[in-house]
Structures are given as structure tokens and as C-alpha cells.
Amino acid sequence: MELQIPPSHHRKSILHLEGGGSEVAWLNAARGRELGPSTSFEVYDGDSLDLSVHAKYERKTKRARASSLLPSGSSLPIPSDYGSMALTGGISPLLLYNLAEILASDLKSEPEPEAYMGYALYDADSNLYEKGKILLSKRSENKHEELREKLYIQKSGHAETFLVNETNEDVWFDNFRIESTPPLIVQETHYDPWGLELTGLGYQYGGIKVNKYLNQGKEWLDDHGLNIFDFHARGYDPAIARTLQMDPHAENYFSLSPFNWLANNPILFTDPDGKDITFYIGKDKVKFGDLNQDYQKALEAFAKTDVGKQFLAQFANKGDKIGSVEFKEAGKNSKHEMQFGQKTDKSDGRPGTNGTEISREKLTFYTIVNTSAQDSPESYALTLGHESFIHQEQFQDRMIAAHDKSDWRTLNDIRHDRGQISRDGYGRTEHNGYLKREPSFKKMYQFIDQIRRILNPTEFNSNLLKHDKLLKSLENNY
């Protein structure tokens, strides 16, 4: 902030800075103007203050010279031998010389006025814990000097700043400024593994409203001493590491209490909120509408085919949407998750990839399309069908069955087999099964027939020819 000098003060143009307004604070204790502009304002722990003002005083007295103490027309010889100077009944030339030098020295050392910019800092209970003043120096004589002080606020409370001249000399102050800067970090919260706040370690800047979206981004509800996190489906109390409501998927975890949290292992697991069909660009979770437009059209068309909708419905929660296609109820595998991502990687010629992430709580199946390897809704749709029905359908049900039985050994065996197939010519075994029209790849052919009736059939057939030709070439090269 900049304090405006009241208009009753001095308007003499030479006394204020250029561009600093038309008013200055003219202080002189003898005139009853000892205290000038002052202000009091709130400050918070972590603030930085920058106080500044320009000040000057005027001295018109000329310094005396030794010759001014001598009679007119006389000269002041400086003897080479002080002992040879005899008293003549008049004033000794040496005395006059010394007096002149003493007077000149005294005038030169005359102190500047006792004028300053002062400050005082108080805590929230109005207890003074720091004060100080920045005095004028000789540099303020007949020209402006900037008085400046930078402060770091250690306690929330209030600050006072003021201008003072305790002498009977005229002092002028101009451009009194106070700049307050909040800290870069305004809130810091520490938790134990269960999400309980470790009080005393955090920090809260007092100048803003407290953020209540804390552990895992969930809202902390402390009204009436409730003290729980709102995880939408359930309220979670970190003090007892239990929820207030039953797990809606409790039937999938017979070995655990329906009020358990993170399978009693907060180090290994989290409970992210959201739908079971999710979308990503790179590693960032996004909305459907943020995806590549051709990819959006392909996903919606995929969901409109009978086999595509059945495939997606397994993982959907009630109310999930892919474009205009909405799922009316939760699927049989809705405790698990299906992700669709996109990337742009010119160094990777593959149109798409798929995989699975395993946690104790759920399986996450994902398909990632490469936008640099395709350029139409038809090519994206073909990639989705390929990854879903040539690859994921071949192992998905076995993995889900093993996971739901907590059969970790079988899960690892399946994952090992998947790695072998992937390394064997990028899935050559499954590609060959599709090309030979084996029964386990029936859904891929159903999808091809159905997607032609939704997207441009000519464009799709062109992409399909390239697709099959590529798979045959991979068969011959491995």
C-alpha cells in the first residue's frame, strides 16, 4: 500500500519527488508536528513487509572560514616556530587560527535531525514483540534519501508504522510505502499412514481461508466435532481407521470387515474415488471430452456395438458414460477398473498397447492408443477392437477369477504367460489365432461386422486390410 499524504501538508514543489504526488509530510516538533502519517494493519505469520519513505531536511548555514575571524585586509601568517610568537597585547594569530578551525569543524559535525521511520509488531494478543526505527543520515541534507526496512513476520497479529521528527528542524517525508507479500506456501499438512493429521508439524497462513480438501484430496468434515473424511460412498474416521458405512463391495472381501479401510494396509493401497471406466492422456486423468476428437468418436462407436457395450458394461458403474452411451447399472466386474489412454509417440509404430495392473483391492485393465500411428475414427476403432478382443479377452476372465479368490500364485502365472506372449513377436500367438479365425476370437469378427454399420465402412475396410496385412507380415518375420 502507499499512504497518501493529507492535503493540509506542505505543497512546495521542490520538497516532493517527481512522480510522487503533490503533497509531502512536513514535520517539526516545535510547530506541533512531531508525528506524521501512521497506519496499523493486520499481518500473518510468514508475511514479508517492505517499508520505505523518502526524506530530506534543509541546512542553509554556510561554513565559517578562518579568514572571517580576522580584521578586514589582514592576513593570517602561519609561523614555522610557535615558540617564537610573543604576546603583543592583542589576539594571538595562532589563537585566531585555532578558533577558526574549531568552528569550522563544529559546523561540519553538526548532527542531522532526530527524525525517522518507525515500526512496531504485535502478536494476536497485542503483545509487542519487535520494534525499530530507521534514522535519517547526512545523506538527507538538502536532498532526498530513501529510508527502507524489510521485515519477516514471525507471529500473526498487527503492525504499526509511523513517521516522526523529534527536533525543531524542518523535515519533509514523501512516498511512504508499505508492501506486504504472503509466503509461497500457505498451507502444509502432515499425516500418519492412516490419514490422521500430525498436529504441530503443519503450517497455516492466516491470510486465506483454510483448505479442507486434504488427505487424497477428500474434504475434511469437522462440523460439530464430526472429524471424518468424505469419500462419497463412505465417511472415513482416521482416528480409528474405520468407515462409518459398510463397503458397497463388501461381498467381494469376505475375509475383511465391511468397515475396513484399505484392506488394513494404507502403505500399499489407496482408495481413489471415481468411476470404473476412466480416461487418461499420458499419466494425467482427464475427462472424455479432453481426448483426441477422432478417438472420442471411436470410443463412442465401440460402445454402440453390441459386443463393445457388453465388454465395457462389465466394468461400468451405474451412470458411467462414454459419449452418448450411458450404462444404467453396475457391471459384474465393477470393483475392477477399465482405463483408456492416449499418447503421442512417433518412435513407437504400434497403434495401441494393453496391460494390467494388479493390487490387492482390484485389477486395472488399460488400453493405450498412439495418436501418431492413426488418423481417423475408423483406425482408432480398429485398434480398440484389436486390443480388447484379440488380446484382453483372452486372459481377462481368468485373471479376475484368480484375483477374486485371492489366488496370487495363479495371478502371477497368468501375468508371466502374458509377458511371454508379448515378447513373442508382439503377441504373435494371438494374432495367428485371429487370422485363422479360431473360436476364441469370435468377438473380434462380430465387432468388425457391427462397427462397419456405425462408422464409414469404406474407410474401415481400408484400415482392416492394412491391419491384417501387418499381422501376416509379423507372422512371417518371427
User: Block means of pLDDT (10 residues each) for the chain, length 478 residues?
Assistant: 46 52 84 90 90 89 46 47 44 54 56 92 93 92 92 92 93 92 79 86 72 82 89 86 81 71 70 54 79 91 94 90 88 91 86 87 90 91 94 92 90 85 76 92 95 94 93 72
For residue 254, what pLDDT is reported? 60
Spatial CA neighbour of 317 closest among 363, 289, 278: 278
Spatial CA neighbour of 233 closest among 269, 193, 273: 273
For residue 419, what pLDDT is reported? 80
364 in the same domain as 221: no
pTM score, whole prediction: 0.46
287 in the same domain as 142: no
449 in the same domain as 332: yes
Q: HSE-up of 466 (CA within 13 Å, CB side)?
A: 14
Number of domain units in the chain = 3
Burial class (CB in 10 A: 0-12, 13-18, 19+), 369: buried
296 in the same domain as 155: no
Question: Is residue 89 one of the residues assigned to a domain?
Answer: no
Question: Is residue 88 one of the residues assigned to a domain?
Answer: no
Question: Is residue 56 one of the residues assigned to a domain?
Answer: yes
Torsion region of 183: left, alpha or beta (phi above 0 gives left; psi -120 to 50 gives alpha): beta
* Residue at a domain's end among 273, 304, 334: 273
284 in the same domain as 194: no
454 in the same domain as 384: yes
Question: Is residue 262 one of the residues assigned to a domain?
Answer: yes
What's the start-to-end Cα distance of the chain, in Å? Answer: 74
CA 321 to chain centre: 31
Question: Is residue 288 one of the residues assigned to a domain?
Answer: yes
392 in the same domain as 306: yes
Question: Is residue 138 one of the residues assigned to a domain?
Answer: yes
322 in the same domain as 443: yes
Cα separation of 442 and 455, whole Å? 20
Question: Is residue 87 one of the residues assigned to a domain?
Answer: no
Question: Is residue 77 one of the residues assigned to a domain?
Answer: no
Q: Find the domain containing 246 and state its range.
A: 185-273
For residue 89, what pLDDT is reported? 47
Residues written for the chain: 478
Contact call for residues 29 and 173 (beta carbons, < 8 A):
no
* Residue at a domain's end among 139, 161, 181: 181
* Residue at a domain's end among 181, 203, 235: 181
Cα separation of 256 and 233, whole Å? 18
156 in the same domain as 236: no
371 in the same domain as 235: no
Burial class (CB in 10 A: 0-12, 13-18, 19+), 166: middle
176 in the same domain as 221: no
